Amino acid sequence: MLEKLGWKKSDNKNVSLENRMADVRKESVPNHIAIIMDGNGRWAKKRALPRAAGHREGMKNIRTITRCANKIGVGALTLYAFSTENWKRPALEVDLLMRLPEEFLNSFLPELMELNIKVQMIGEMDGLPDHTQRAVQNAINQTAVNTGMVLNFALNYGGRRELLLSVKEIAHQVQNGTLNLDDITEETISSRMMTATLPDPDLLIRTSGELRLSNFLLWQLAYSEFWFTDVHWPEFKEDDLLQAIESYQSRNRRYGGLKGE
């Protein structure tokens, strides 16, 4: 069953990474990839390390995957970094998770500028600690003129919360007469989502073996291709990303129709 969901072990270890990248670029590369970066704690537990070590290793791995995605021509990479539900975790763990973006963005910013990568964020900024807000906003401001791949962080983000805010905005516009009820379409809703400036994801990747969305991009993932792996996020490397994209490229995206049949 897992293979039908896109899960399988790589059988391409004998092919060089550069050759595989070149082959991937010859086909249709997903314009927008969304990743649920799961398994930092499990990675640490396997090594008898504190969960903090797993989160730090996971944050470092974002560099690896960002570079690879950018190199093969991905247009946008959305990473589920901190959900609205993650506030329920122990206070010390939450505090660490809120400090990691500052460490990561400050150190990675020069390379992001060199690679022409643009940083964006979805989620509710005003719910984050001040130091986290400053780090994220600084990266957004510094990379605003960049025209390459979008590196989009989902921080303090929840899919249901996003839908609720969108519905409230539309209801308010109907109430004050700036929007007619009969004029509401799917495009109306999409334009009120936090990802309004991005296309819907072509491919969703979730690491660490879980087979659920966990309140992530519930509206936007309606016709995305899903790919699951039991590899924990800190161990998810270029080879794994290419494997997911190769699986995506082998699929027939019909969007409810009969394309290709």
Q: Which residues are known to be catalytic?
A: 38, 86
* CA pair distance 130, 128, nearest whole angstrom: 6
Among residues 120, 116, 121, 119, the alpha carbon closest in space to that of 147 is found at 116
The whole-angstrom distance between residue 237's C-alpha and the CA centroid of its chain comes to 15
Query: How does 65-81 read in b/e, with b if 16+ C-beta sit within 10 Å?
Result: bbebbbebebbbbbbbb
Per DSSP, helices labelled H in the chain are 17-26, 40-46, 51-72, 91-114, 130-142, 159-175, 186-192, 238-249
Per DSSP, helices labelled H in 115-237 are 130-142, 159-175, 186-192
* CA pair distance 132, 136, nearest whole angstrom: 6
CA distances from 112 to 14, 107, 220 (A): 31, 10, 26
